[in-house]
Amino acid sequence: MRKFLYPFAFGAVVALTTLVMPGSAGNAADNPQATERGVTDIVPVPVEARPDPGSNFRLTAETVIRAEHQAKDVGNYLAGLLRPATGFPVPVVDRYDLGKKSAITLELGDAGSRVGDQGYQLHVTKNGVKLKANTTDGLFGGVQSLRQLFPADINKTTVQKRDWTVSGGKVLDYPRFRQRGAMLDVARHFFKPDQVKRYIDQIAQYKINTLHLHLTDDQGWRIEIKSWPRLAEIGGQTAVGGDPGGYYTQEQYKDIVNYAASRHITVIPEIDMPGHTNAAQASYGELNCDGKPVPPRTDIEVGYSSLCIGLPITYKFVEDVIREVAAMTPGKYIHIGGDEAHATSDADYKTFFDKVTPMLATYDKKAQGWHNIVVTNPPTSAIPQYWDPARSNADVAAAAKRGNKILMSPANKAYLDMKYNKDTKLGLQWAGLVEVKDSYDWDPATFLPGVTESQLAGVEAPLWSETLRTSADIEYMAFPRLSGIAEIGWSPAATHNWDKYRARLAKQGPIWTAQGINFYRSPQVDWK
């Protein structure tokens, strides 16, 4: 067995421009051996990358993907990316099938302790491509880097008659934070399963590994709960502005979860409570203190709804929902909301979560919640998600000191639904106008005093849907900001540099165009 070893050693992280060799740039249209992106152009920027333009690899009709049994799913995924535009068969064969000289080889194990369980090593030469990782998560992340080294045309769905040259070089890469998430609000406006899957495919490209689905809110309830069927039958029929509603059957939700898992993304479902519950309380009068159902709401006001904290049926309802959602969710976490509960008194808020948070452990789950839950002194296994634009929060800092890992999503940096500028037709602006540079130019480890890097779970980019109705709307608000949040979550802090990032970001434009992504062409970026 020949091990995948590097004949070189990287030193400490250095500015990537110092690794670029003369002559590595070129016009791919004029020179079939020139490439559109090299290893130093990857987003998120790798920990270590060394281009070798003299060792470009050419994919041909003879190329195979070699993968051992446990890597076959990743191999088949990669083949599925390469076949449509090339028209090549790209068969996935056994790792030890050496019958073909042209190969992309996926190897599991012995990738080194530095890359951990999410990182990878990538080596592109004239003779082939070798991708090595300790886990399939790492291999999948490496595939996302490799696909950026192909011409953007590789993302087209019809055969393109052209040369398929991959930039030569070596990469050693691993994430800064374990959790790198995106959130999609399907409650304010409903998005069908295929739309959610489209977004999953898009975020997976940037090594996002959690999808937080905001399933319930005042305007709609989007998940079938068999023990409380009117949640879907009534609460699932409304949306902001009177637009059509909808909900996921349990089978549809499971299918989304499984699809995300095939992209190495864990779904974190959110049931928002004790506020943001009008859709539930319109479905069942017994969830209200007076026993009467409330009228449905389709406006975008917040802070007016609350479950009735003193009623025993409230906790039967909550536990039934948690039990059914937990049974459909393989991931460790369920998001229990906790934000903007202005209609719940402070005492009732604490009473509610003192009863609800322990329920999760009964069903082998842990809590994630908006950072407001820290006042209830949750167990240290709980992850508070910081969403406020404010640059200080003593309660969150105290929770971090107690041992809670904080997930960073400050609205003026990470919220993808904030308008880019005053003329942006979609989105809101309560947290300010957030251009591409604004969303990139921050460090989660220094944003809040008293919350340091070791106390962070990671970062998440939420996308609220009050103003979004279509996949094109999702894409316009998410891209290009999401790739910047992904880089903040993945790449070392020492590599964080706006000018270098915007140059790399510009080269993502042709990829998004080929994929049909409706991205915002920010004037801050010189798009290619």
What pLDDT does residue 95 have? Answer: 84
pLDDT over threshold 90, residue 18: no
Interval 451-501: pLDDT, tens: 999 999 999 999 999 999 999 999 999 999 999 999 999 999 999 999 999
Q: What is the 3-state secondary structure (H, E, C) of 462-527?
A: EECCCCCCCHHHHHHHHCCHHHHHHHHHHCCHHHCCHHHHHHHHHCCHHHHHHHCCCCCCCCCCCC
Q: Which residue has the tokens 């609205």?
A: 411
* Tens of pLDDT, residues 263-289: 999 999 999 999 999 999 999 999 999
CA–CA dist 274, 347 (Å, integer)? 13
Average pLDDT, the chain: 94
Which CATH number do you get for residue 166?
3.30.379.10
Average pLDDT over residues 337-364: 99
Let me know the angle formed at the C-alpha of 426 by 238 and 416, rounded to the nearest 5 degrees: 90
253 lies in the same domain as 275? yes
* 165, pLDDT greater than 70: yes
The answer to whether residue 402 sits within a structural domain is: yes
Quick one: angle between helices 250-262 and 193-204, nearest 10?
A: 20
More confident residue, 157 or 24: 157
Within this chain, do residues 125 and 218 fall inside the same structural domain, yes or no? no
Same domain, 165 and 25: yes
Report the pLDDT averaged over residues 370-382: 99
CATH of the domain at 204: 3.20.20.80
Give me the active site residues, please.
340
3 pLDDT tier (thresholds 50, 70, 90): very low
Question: What's the pLDDT band for 32 if we cut at 50, 70, 90?
Answer: very low
Q: Tell me the C-alpha to C-alpha distance, in Å, between residue 168 and each of 8, 165, 315, 347, 360.
A: 15, 9, 59, 61, 48
Q: Which residue has the tokens 């549809």?
A: 252
Domain boundary residue, one of 157, 173, 189: 173
DSSP letter (8 states) at residue 436: H
- Give the tokens for residue 16: 């990537």
Using CA atoms, how far apart are residues 171 and 430, in angstroms rounded to an integer? 41
| 47 lies in the same domain as 84 | yes
Confidence at residue 98, expressed as pLDDT on a 0 to 100 scale: 77
Examine the pLDDT at 353 and tell me if it is beyond 90. yes
Residue type, 321: V
Is residue 338 included in any domain, yes or no? Answer: yes
Same domain for 52 and 116?
A: yes
Please tell me the predicted confidence (pLDDT) of residue 105. Answer: 97
Residue-wise pLDDT for 416-463, tens only, equals 999 999 999 999 999 999 999 999 999 999 999 999 999 999 999 999
Residue 523 lies in a domain: no
Within this chain, do residues 155 and 213 fall inside the same structural domain, yes or no? no
pLDDT of 151 reads 98
**256 and 403 inside one domain:** yes
Domain-located, residue 28? yes
Q: 18 vs 283, which has greater pLDDT?
A: 283
Task: Report the DSSP beta bridge partners of residue 270.
Answer: 214, 335
187/151 same-domain check: no
Do residues 223 and 317 share a domain? yes
Confidence of residue 13 (pLDDT cuts 50, 70, 90): very low
| Model pLDDT for residues 235-244, shown as the tens digit of each residue | 999 999 999 9
pTM listed for this prediction: 0.94
Instruction: Specify whether the CB–CB gap between 416 and 461 falls below 8 A.
Output: yes
Which of 173, 203, 219 delimits the end of a domain?
A: 173
One domain for residues 160 and 276: no
On the 0-12 / 13-18 / 19+ scale of CB atoms within 10 A, 147 is middle
Domain finish residue from 126, 152, 173: 173
Q: How far apart are CA 384 and CA 407, in angstroms?
A: 6
Rg of the chain, C-alpha, whole Å = 24
Is the predicted pLDDT of residue 505 greater than 50, yes or no?
yes
Please name every residue paired with 267 in a beta bridge, in sequence order, or none if there are none. Answer: 211
Question: Quick one: pLDDT band at residue 106, thresholds 50, 70, 90?
Answer: very high
Phi and psi angles of residue 337, each rounded to the nearest 5 degrees, phi first: 70, -125
Residue 6 clears pLDDT 60, i.e. is over it? no
Q: How far is CA 517 from CA 53, 260, 472, 508, 520, in A?
A: 29, 19, 7, 11, 9
- Cα distance between residue 419 and residue 473, in whole Å: 12
Band (96; pLDDT cuts 50, 70, 90): confident
Q: Looking at the structure, tell me whether residues 111 and 213 fall in a common domain.
A: no
The residues near 201 (Cβ < 8 Å, ≥ 6 apart) are 263
Is residue 527 in a domain? no
Same domain, 144 and 214: no
**How many independent structural domains does the chain possess?**
2
pLDDT for 26 beyond 90: no
Residue 526 located in a structural domain:
no
Is residue 332 packed enough to be buried (19+ CB in 10 Å), middle (13-18) or exposed (0-12)? middle
Calpha distance 72→104 (Å, rounded): 12
Predicted local confidence at residue 33, as pLDDT: 54
Contacts of 73 (CB under 8 A, 6+ apart): 136, 262
Question: By residue range, what is the domain housing residue 366?
Answer: 179-497
pLDDT at position 20, please?
A: 38
The tokens for 315 are: 């906790």
Reply yes or no on whether the pLDDT at 528 is more than 50.
Answer: yes
DSSP states along 273-311: ESSS-HHHHHH-GGGSTTS-PPPP--S---S-----TT-
Q: Which pLDDT value is given to residue 429?
A: 99
The answer as to whether 241 is a domain residue is yes
State the pLDDT at residue 7. 33
- More confident site: 34 or 219: 219
Q: Considering the domain boundaries, does residue 10 fall inside one?
A: no
